[in-house]
Amino acid sequence: MTIADRWLLPDGMDEVLPPQALRMESLRRGLMDLYYRWGYDLVMPPPVEFLDSLLTGAGTDLDLQTFKLTDQLTGRLMGASADVTPQVARMDAHSLRRQGPVRLCYCAHVLRARADEHQGGRSPVQAGLELFGHAGIEADIEIVKLALASLSFAGANDVHLAIGHIGIYRALAEEARLEDDVESLIFEALERKAVSEVDALIEQYIEDVSLAAMFKQLPRLHGSVEVLERARKVFANGSPAIIEALDQLTSLQNVLSAAHDDVTLYFDLAELRGYQYHTGLVFAAYVPGYGQALVKGGRYDDTGRAFGRPRPATGCSMDLKQLATLCQRAPSHDGIWAPTDDDNGLSQRIHALRDAGERVVQQLPGQSTDALAHFCDRQLIHRDGAWQVEPLAN
């Protein structure tokens, strides 16, 4: 092994250096303060849990993404957290057991066995929100509003919000009473947006003419807000679950159109992302220049059932590393440069400035770098018998 090889990081792992680290930390603080103002309590889940708890109620995707290791104390399998949401669901159901709506937020490092094909990293810093205990669309709307507020705080412009509803496909599939293998074929074709293939499968396996017609239209119902009007006509004879899903989408659209007219809305009623996990409305927020969603979320009712307490739940999550790249400002020069001096008055002045929130960098003996190298724009000068803060001399 060469010396250079000693410093190689594993694929998908990265280190965050100045000034990006400070940018991320400032963003984290700002987001957690934002969520606090909305009534969300901060939680800090452990980085590692026993595997049977960590993956309870989770799909196979999370299992594949989870690093496994053996606990040296008990011999039991443990897993490194690859997604904080199931951990927070456990906290709500098992640890907190509060009554009524519970709002929780978090920001934690996660570790993933495989790199995301778009983002590339295996060590995101996941920030998120979860709202438990309310099944109404009002909870979903609150989460979407906060997702958009998060993007705005991070400096995002020209946001495109893609919205779907898992409940529509699920209601059609239940009514059709398809065999598991047949439903898998239709599901896969819908995921690939293979419209002609979907048509062929529907004609082959669904005899009910009205139901088949609704199924065929599902992958064609995507676009701007007019899609919801078309969907009302397509599903005019649909089940109550489908009508309720459309009502929820319409409610969300009305709120967002009034409060966020700068956000482009895109509806896709065949969006099946997270089908094994999500149960209702789903959304993803995109920004030009990024090949993946910066925020993803949706409803995932009954996740707490595995912990003995099924609860309605909705939430969203984002990668702080990605959000921090939205505003790549040059490092700000906002520090005060202090000279090397044993003067007690200087020490007291530095202490007072730091207590007041100022960043003070004191020169070390023999130091060759100057104030600008340490991002200072002011300096402490002994003048008229006192240490005074003055702009750096040009």
Query: How many helices and strands in the chain, by DSSP H and E?
Result: 14, 16
And the tokens for 340?
Answer: 């090397």
Of 339, 366, 336, 365, which Cα lies nearest the Cα of 352? Answer: 336
CA distance 236 to 238: 6
Residue 330 confidence (pLDDT): 64
The four Cα atoms 247, 250, 251, 257 give a dihedral, to 10 degrees, of 180
Query: What is the rounded average pLDDT of the residues 304-313?
Result: 85
Q: In sequence order, what DSSP letters do the residues of 159-224 get, joined into one string? A: -EEEEEEHHHHHHHHHHHT--HHHHHHHHHHHHTT-HHHHHHHHHHH---HHHHHHHHHGGG-EES
Of 119, 101, 82, which Cα lies nearest the Cα of 39? Answer: 101
Split at pLDDT 50, 70, 90, the class of 344 is very high
Chain position carrying tokens 């790549």: 328
Is the confidence at residue 31, as pLDDT, over 80? yes
- Which runs of E-coded beta strand occur in the chain? 41-42, 48-50, 68-70, 77-80, 102-109, 125-132, 160-165, 222-223, 264-268, 281-286, 295-299, 313-319, 335-338, 359-362, 376-383, 386-391
Split at pLDDT 50, 70, 90, the class of 4 is low
Split at pLDDT 50, 70, 90, the class of 319 is very high
Query: What is the rounded average pLDDT of the residues 370-379?
Result: 94
Is the confidence at residue 6, as pLDDT, over 80? no
Is the confidence at residue 60, as pLDDT, over 80? no
Residue 165 confidence (pLDDT): 97
Residue 106 confidence (pLDDT): 98
Split at pLDDT 50, 70, 90, the class of 275 is confident
CA distance 62 to 64: 5
Share of the chain above pLDDT 90, in %: 82
Is the confidence at residue 59, as pLDDT, over 60? no
CA distance 124 to 106: 13
Name all domains of the chain by residue range, CATH numbers in brackets: 15-155+287-331 (3.30.930.10), 159-282 (3.30.930.10), 335-391 (no CATH)
Is the confidence at residue 118, as pLDDT, over 90? no
Is the confidence at residue 139, as pLDDT, over 70? yes
Q: Are 45 and 127 a contacting pair, CB within 8 Å?
A: no
Residue 133 confidence (pLDDT): 96
Split at pLDDT 50, 70, 90, the class of 44 is very high
The overall average pLDDT reported for the chain is: 93
CB under 8 A, 24+ apart: contacts of 46-52: 46/81, 46/87, 47/80, 47/81, 47/108, 47/109, 47/111, 48/78, 48/79, 48/80, 48/81, 49/78, 49/79, 49/81, 49/87, 50/76, 50/77, 50/78, 50/79, 51/76, 51/77, 51/78, 51/79, 52/77
Question: Residue ranges for the binding site?
Answer: 83-85, 112, 126, 130, 273
Chain position carrying tokens 């995101």: 124
The pTM of this model reads 0.91
Share of the chain above pLDDT 70, in %: 95
Is the confidence at residue 130, as pLDDT, over 70? yes
Question: Residue ranges for the binding site for L-histidine?
Answer: 83-85, 112, 126, 130, 273
CA distance 336 to 338: 6
Q: Are 306 and 326 a contacting pair, CB within 8 Å?
A: no
CA distance 300 to 273: 12
Is the confidence at residue 252, as pLDDT, over 60? yes
Higher pLDDT among residues 146 and 53, named by residue: 146
Split at pLDDT 50, 70, 90, the class of 56 is confident
One-letter amino acid at 140 equals D
The four Cα atoms 194, 196, 198, 202 give a dihedral, to 10 degrees, of 180
Chain position carrying tokens 């090397």: 340
